[in-house]
Structure 1
Amino acid sequence: MNDVVKEIVLLFDKESPQPIKSNIRISVENDYNEDNQYKFMVGLDGVWTTLLDFGSENNCVWTPKENGKYLVMVQIKHKDSKKPFDEILKQDFIVGTVEEKLIKAVYIDKSQYSIGEKVDIEVETTKLPSMFRYWVDGRDGWQLIKDYSSENKIKYTCNEDGKHQLLIECKVPYSKNNFDDFRTIDFEVKKMDKLGIIDYKCLTNDLLTGEDLVFEVETDADDERTVLFKFIKIDSDGRSTCIQDFSSRKMVSFIEGKPGKYKLLCMAKDMYSDHQYDDRAIIVYEVIPYYPVKITNFTTDVCSPQAAESKINIKTIAEGGRNLLYKYRIDGPYAEDSGYLRDNTFLWNPKQAGDYKVTVFVKDESFDGRYEADASFDFMIQEKPKRTVNITNIALDKDDNYIINQPVNIMAEAEGSNDIRYSFIIYKNEKETERVRYSTTNWVNFTPETPGQYSLEIRVKDKYSDKDFDAHSYVYFDVKEYMPGKIEHILLPSKEHFLVGDTIDLECITLNSKETLIKYVTKVDEMVVEETDFIEDKKFSLRPKRSGKYKIEMYVKNIKCKNEFDTKKEIRIVISEAQKITGTKITCDNTRPRIDEEVNFTVSNDGGKDVCYEFYIMHNGNWSLVQNYSRKNYYTFRPFDLGDFRLLVLAKSYYKRCSYEDYDEFKFEVTDTNY
């Protein structure tokens, strides 16, 4: 038995070409499966004719009645197969006289493509001029790409994977044939690699209502692949809101107005994918109205004990909340209750000596309960002495922007004694790190070496005092590795209205400009139209191409910033197509023309952009359109009859979708005399 597998072939009993009305037997050879069924068809100029429908016969006789280049096709179907057919055989056959080939060559840039790539085809012919028609086969059969034209080059976008053929039909002008020559090109479209989301994270450290929430997603796609992202927010009640429809922007930001738990669904898809999405991921997050209220320090400017009727300044340092309220309660021989105040300090003037308990209650103004945090300390009041030592002033050479390795000079002033001593204690995260013992020096230089939360306690006392201190006070420092990028001011042109085509220059005024980078994101009606990288340029020019509500977001960061950005600012600008047209006026160089005497009308007005004009003339009660809308602001008229005439001009901006914005009329009389 011969084990060699022979290829199934399509055979003809006569060689191509053959004259019309020839009997040509078509047969399938080397098919040893007796259960197969065969369907014989021929195609000419895109029209298919069935010679023999599915049956067990593996041959048939074909008698062509027209000249042309035929495509003979046999479909083979296996027994019990549910497919339309399982195998297919094709072969060209020419009927009639064989003429010189019209297509000399067909050039294709490559044989394998990816979904979304463009196939470049160029056809070279032996005759000029020539006309070309292009077809491509796919899952739904042959589809016309472009009908006959003189274009010998075409770009076709691949949107189906698999093996394909591209058919080029060619003919000379005025040819009565559907085509004079044709050529097929084989190419293959590779399946799209599976797209996957590999990282989905929130870039905002603190999720607060009223603040920007920034999320970013990453995929395993390479840089040459265009991926679209859609973000949908789902609240705790299951209501969904589309934050961003499919866009190439992988970072999304928005502001949440209500606290609660949310989900943010991200759907990612390749731009050329025919699926609703290729992968999706969801992130769960919770938005709180403000940071939890916490009291970090509660103290007085003097130490216990103090004399009656001394002015004792009670100070609370708290964090969290949005708008904090403070209530001070003093329990003892002479009780006091301040009620809730916005001030974090309270001046206590004790009237009687005794033991007191001082308590502060802190809460955000939106909180419905009694308080969110409290603290207290005991304080003793003695009978009034003659004088006490107090700190009267603390001066710093800078108020903010504390950076590591940059010194800060602090100087204290006190009164109440002729011989006052000063001591300074440095704390980091509430732990003592350095102490300057008591001396007559009332200043100190503080140079932080690492970032963090620092506080400096200033203590003063009389030289002969037995207490740790007679008075003290705290200064707080938030020390950073670098000065965060921040925009202080945004300078814009001093105009009330901006129009399409205007150049709008804005300039960002920043501190530490040489180390500050800015990324500009331009949105029109909440759609991103332009996005820069982080750049050093503090000037940005916008030339709007259409009207709408523009928003320019500026993400600012220091060059040492390890996060996405330090701060963000935005401005909103409304761009109009043009100012409304007003003051339209017609002027004339001859108000009493005679018959067949030329008269010129000129139109002037204010406002508008690329203004167009349309002219009508009335005579004998009939209006006639004499010049359609155009940029010509003038009209020349040569009267043909005597009598009264009226000229009407309509004016509008080129971009306006309306009949007109303004108009003017001009009356004149045509006479047979100049007087």
Structure 2
Amino acid sequence: MNEFEVNFNRESPQKINDEIVMSIGNKIEQNLSYKYCIGLNGKWSILKEFSKDTQATWKPTENGIYTIIVQAKREDEQKPFNYLGKVDYVIGEMEKNIIKAVALDKRELTVGEKITAKVEVVRKGVLFRYGIVENGKWHLLKDYSAEDMITWTVTKIGKQEVVVQCKLIDSKEKFDDTKSVEFNVLPIKNMQIKDFKCLAEELFTGNEITFQVDAEHDDSRLILYKFIKIDSKGAAECIQNYSTKRIVSYIENDFGDFKLLCLVKDMYSPNKYDDRAVILYSIKKYKTIAIKSFTSDVTSPQTLGNDINFKALAEGGKKLLYRFIIDGNSSEDSGYIRSSNFNWKPKAAGTYKITLFVKDASFEENYEDKVHMEFIIDEENRDPVVIKEIIKDTKTKILTGETINIKVVAEGGIELRYSFIVKSEDKEIEKIDYGPCEWVNYTPEKAGSYEVEIRVKDKFSTKEYDSSATVYIEAFDYIPASIDYILVPSNDYYMIGDKIELMVISENTKDTLNKYVLKINNRKVEETNYGQASQYVVNPKCAGLYNIDIFAKNKKSDKAFDCKKTVRFIIHESLPVTNTVIECDRLKPKVNEGINFNVSSEGGKEVIYEFYLMEQSEWNLVQKYSRKNFYTFIPFTKGSYKLLVLSKSQINKSSYEDYAILGFDVEK
């Protein structure tokens, strides 16, 4: 700011070698000393050092826009000067236009994209102001500053122009030069919901329900999704406000018919939504009740005096109730009970009908499913025949020519008899009729699968058998290799450099050969030959999906392999980005005061952040992905705001790994 006037005997502009006298226009104080300095294109020279002279003569020798500075100071003053006068002076014919060019990085773009304008001027010491002309109306983008470049987001469709106004620092004019450049803003390409589906298979009260929407859109755009639940009475509830999440889950505590409305829009779309879809679904109180089985611990017929236990197996419902009704010579009714077992001790012989009813505790009708069986009670008092155990002296996988001994432990009846039937491929090949011997030896002569059916009955029983069981035997020319377990490190998150050791556990280890095939992202990287090594070590050097196929076979096997198992690992370059937190330096933000936001997160590698600001219910991308974990914002209006921060590792190709949202209110 000029603190005193500097006058000239000749008005600017003048020619080279003209003598120009400059003088002090107004004396602020008495006994001041004055120093006269001349500047051109950043170079300065002293015309006259400090003296009492209130004027100086200057004879310019070069064309240009000069800056004249006159300093004034008091006697015995320690400061360099006390007052300052400054003015520009033109020598020669100078270019009248200050702005040489205005360059845009793009002339055609889509709503929501950013555009940058760069101004080129012919001299220094210029201030710039930027505005936009839309439909004949001028809007200020940025007031006068020294910034010769500006970037902004276009939000209106159609042809527009950016207007740049410039003026010299000491100019008293509104502007000294102006220039405008046109550009065209295109509408967002049509967005369309292609699929809207429910991912949950069972829709019951209290269960989590997940929905997913797929929309066709430009991959470079930021798409927002909003979900609204509507019940049968028309009451609406917002499950998820506009967000980048296209999968939504919630727990429904009610039942009946519902609608879920999905609204989709581009973040910068001027519409309330760009497309919408509705899905209809019904929520049941619980899964339909179905009786899977209804059995007794002994077979019919039985004799008086024996306890008979009935067991029900049902699925569905939430709190199941069971009712056992016995109709016959001595009827019983358990009433609805919570136990799925009922013990019955018959009091009279005869044929009985046992009916099972099942329902949920909340069901008001008689039953939701039922089933019945018939049971005969004889007068004769004898224990039921039951096979308690089958003992084998070797495993059921044996070599041809080896003998397996099978022994039966049974109880009940008066005098038990045993029968053994050997079958292969559903054909009977050997049979031992009923006799008192409770064991049998069998030696398979050729490879194959065999069934040994064991039948037990009381000597005085008229039935074909009272109890039966089957033993399955597999005979081999050699015992095929079988991988029982693959021991892996107890770690659910692997990174580059982690040593991963696999241990294969299998029977007949000495006769078993193992081969390992390593694939990374479905590309074969390593394949070993068959050998007796039961350990395999992986030292991952890159991220990706690691598949390790383990093949095992017996030494005598002529097959490619007898057994195969696969282990899969996902190798990460770093820990995932988690715990993203936004911190604000102001508890009560106010209009026209700067607010600083700092973001922190855990995990990741070279974490980058992207900032979105919701102002007046509109999201705006305010800072693209970068390593900057802070953002400064000056609100100009009172209201509610939200700041959304997306975070991810720089190497991660997904849209984001974690995010955080901070809402805040701005007061006047």
Report the TM-score when normalising by structure 2: 0.49
Kindly name which structure, 1 or 2, has the bigger radius of gyration based on alpha carbons. 2
